[in-house]
Amino acid sequence: MKISHLGTVPYLEIYQKMQDFTAQRTPQTPDELWLCEHPPVYTLGLSGTSNDLLTPSTIPLIQTNRGGQITYHGPGQVIAYPLINLNRRGYFVKEYVYRLEESVIKTLNALGLTAHRVLGAPGVYVNPVDPRSHDRLAYSPHERADQNTTSQPSFDGLSKISAIGVKVSKHCTYHGLSLNVSLDLTPFEAINPCGYEGLQTTHLHHLGVMLNCQEVAVLLAEKLNVYLTT
């Protein structure tokens, strides 16, 4: 997979480039991975509405065609956009999302942190009180017996550190994931992150990992290259 570190790029610019790349690619086009940061922006997925922005803000709000609801991107957050031909790789969207999560989980593991999935809520979560403990929570968020596909996800004291929202067109992916490194979390107070009321967010610096975005992006790219291509 070709890996490109793009620096800070306005959201609308890269959104258009992703759509153009996907529309123009052929079955022979190599897969790519773009990593960047964005200036402050709220983005709405197909399940979101403008009412998901709970308070007025000067931060732009942009409607997109990815899955999910509302999220925030800003400086201090690594954004990864895998442009993958799923048909050629031989797996489907559900496994693709699992592989994205696994890439983030392994990135956090490499930094000494324990990461969690939550049933019904794509993304990656950490226990902000004890982020390095390998002890299980009272019950694992992805194994609760009382959860089913229609119940509200239970975050059980976890905070979100990575959001996932994807689009697949003709078996090819765009959009992707974010991983919070050191960003200002205040803009999340104006939304229910990913549509979940009361869901808390955190970042690596709060968890004691004092790397910068460039360092984290390199590690994340390594994990994505492994888990998306093998």
Active site residue ranges: 194
Strand partners, 53: 191
Which amino acid belongs to residue 122? P
For strands 41-44 and 159-169, give the pairing.
Answer: unpaired
End-to-end CA distance of the chain: 11
User: What's the Cα-to-Cα distance from 99 to each of 4, 158, 198, rounded to whole Å?
Assistant: 20, 21, 27
Cα dihedral 67/68/74/78 (nearest 10): -60
Strand partners, 180: 77
